[in-house]
Amino acid sequence: MASKPVVAWIGAGRMGVPMAGFVLKAGYAVKVYSRSSASRQKLVSQGAQEALSAADSVRDAGVVFTSLADDGALRATVLGEGGALVNMRPNSVLAETSTVSTRLSEEIDAAARARGIAYLRVPISGNAASAQKGEVTALVSGPRDAWERIKPIVESFSKGQIYLGPGEQARVMKLVVNALVVNFAQAMAEALALGRKGGLEWDLMLDTLAQSTLSSPWLKVKAQLLKQRDFTTTMSTRLILKDIDLMLDAARGDDLPMPLTALTRQLLQVVVGEGYGEDDYMCAVKVAEKQAGLPTDHV
């Protein structure tokens, strides 16, 4: 039986730490790098080996996962002379789990191919809470044979895995999912303000939505958090604005109008302006309530 590959994990944030933790629990040797020493130590305390640079983390790895915030962080970490890619072994696999542009993803693919490295796009559908439970869904595209090689690792930290094609399909699918999330979140904020103005009792209104034809796993989770007025960050407003910009940029490249999403972007910019940039994007509820003249500290 073939031995398990050494796994390098680059990026130990709210998503990276729990996902890499599940990989450790599955019996893989993990070498972790993150710009923050404190973040690295979260995984070292679980049995990971610490690396002091991206290059150091990947040299002995058969599989490299990255979990980074945006295009800038991914480019700086993966590409360039001191980056991960030029220090990876031929025939290894690079699996990138973030939400980034197809343009940068294609650039990384070309650089990986030139070095004999298989590049997989593995953006994750879920948030920090679902990552901690191992309940995220992995959207996957890239070389099918490389996917089969690393599938057991991805299965260790996800409840579902969907292979979408040989190229950038997973990147596009993640934008499709998030486009629905951001637009529905804004619609939900406005609808809840309407309900409160009309005299509906808060908990009962949310329970009714969770049992309605609109019900979904996402809505049920959000309804429970909103009942508690819990706006703990699952994804910050600034970070979700980054995703919207990716959607709109992709749409412009395809001459595709997205007027609703463009408006949602402006409305979420108001949420940032109200001081909720680093808070959960569902603070759109508070802004809608404030604009309706409703109290936001309790219901």
Pairwise pLDDT comparison (36 vs 271), residue with the higher score: 271
Domain endpoint, select from 167, 185, 204: 167
Looking at residues 56-76, what average pLDDT do you find?
96
CATH of the domain at 272: 1.10.1040.10
Query: pLDDT value at position 2?
Result: 63
Q: Tell me: do 196 and 275 sit in the same domain.
A: yes
139/239 same-domain check: no
Contact 101, 249 (CB under 8 A): yes
Coil, strand or helix at 12: coil
pLDDT range class, residue 1, cuts 50, 70, 90: very low
**Two tokens, residue 42:** 């979260």
Residues 163 and 33 in one domain: yes
- Asked if the structure places residue 296 within a domain, the reply is no
Given pLDDT bands bounded at 50, 70 and 90, which one contains residue 80? confident
Q: How much is the mean pLDDT over the chain?
A: 96
pLDDT of residue 263: 98
Mean pLDDT to the nearest integer, 214-229: 95
Please state the pTM of the whole predicted model: 0.93
Strand partners, 119: 94
Any idea which residue has 């190229």 for tokens? 167
The number of folded domains in the chain is: 2
Which of 253-289 are b and which e, b meaning 16 or more Cβ less than 10 Å from the residue's Cβ? eeeeebeebeebbebbeebbebebbebbbbbbbbbbb
In a domain, 2, yes or no: no
Range of the domain at 270: 172-291
E strands, the chain, where?
7-10, 30-33, 49-50, 63-66, 93-96, 118-121, 124-125, 136-141, 158-165
The answer to whether position 297 is within a domain reads no
In a domain, 1, yes or no: no
Across the range 137-164, mean pLDDT stands at: 98
Q: 9-22, pLDDT tens digit by residue?
A: 999 999 999 999 99
- CA-CA distance, 68 to 91, in Å (whole number)? 23
- Looking at the fold, whether 259 and 131 belong to one and the same domain comes out as no
42 and 148 belong to one structural domain: yes
Distance in angstroms (rounded) separating the CA atoms of residues 199 and 104: 49
* CATH number of the domain where residue 61 is located: 3.40.50.720
b (16+ CB within 10 A) / e for 87-120: bbeeebbbbbbbbbbbebbeebbebbeebebbbb
The pLDDT of residue 221 is above 80: yes
